[in-house]
Structure 1
Amino acid sequence: MNRLDIQTTRIGQGPAGLTLVVDGVSLVDLVAAYEGSRGYEPAGAYGGLVPERLSVMADLGTYLLGTSPDQLPALGSAWLLGCSCGEVGCWPLVARIEVSPRRVRWTDFSQPFRESWDYTDFGPFVFTRGEYEATVARAARMTAGPA
């Protein structure tokens, strides 16, 4: 099983963002290394997600399970990274999210603006569901604005 952590980040003076971390390595760095090894350009031009700019992430817990009623890009998948500029729609990394009672699995990665890029050998990443949900809940608290 993989381990998920989430770091908060800022893009300039903007709102708090989230960077997903798998087994101690930023997902931005993991995908940059993968894309770079295949000669994809621009490789790794990603940044974290900015919940404030993505209304469907109002409930981060359901969004990162792929089950939000307004799930983008589609039910059962999520944008795990956005563009380094802070806008997810500018350059998103998409993954299918499979949820079972005991685990959460990220598979079928894609870059929608580069349909020819092949992510077959990237992932899958598999997490214990309880630990995954606890990490996501902690991240939601970290990025929540004043009540």
Structure 2
Amino acid sequence: MSDEPQSVREIVITRLIDAPAPLVFAAHADPVHVKRWFGPVGWPLTKCEMDFRVGGRFRFQMTSSEGELGPPFGGTYLEIVPHVRIRYDNGFEAPGSSVMVTTISFAEDAEGRTLLTHHTLFESKAMRDEYLGVGFEEGTNSGLDQLEGVVAELVAEVGGG
């Protein structure tokens, strides 16, 4: 990590999801669900390997709707607090690739909605700026839009609807 202030190396995205934290967390913990929402529309996960435990690794790869393979990427789960937080490092598999650390926090309010906070800390401001330039924020938000649909289906299943 650089000695630059954290504030210039991070991207924070929040989303209020109309579902309890355990269901939003479950959508992040199970590869069956993750494959349905992760990534921007038009670039679904076609490889989704997850060993969801602290110290476990994940490996993802997206493929465009035209069949173009994206580069494989993955990392290690650093912290898992059920229904509260998931923290992992993440980077492309190419030698010398930079690594970011992502923390997903789930805070349920009194109405049973979950404030999801997606915090990504990059190794440097230059890395953050590079990712912003290739659509990181838009891609993350597109994935979160899809997450809301998956979670709504989980709510319906639990509610018997």
TM-score (norm 1): 0.37
Q: Greater helix percent: which structure?
A: 2
TM-score (norm 2): 0.35
The higher-RCO structure (CA 8 Å, 6+ apart) is 2
Greater gyration radius: 2
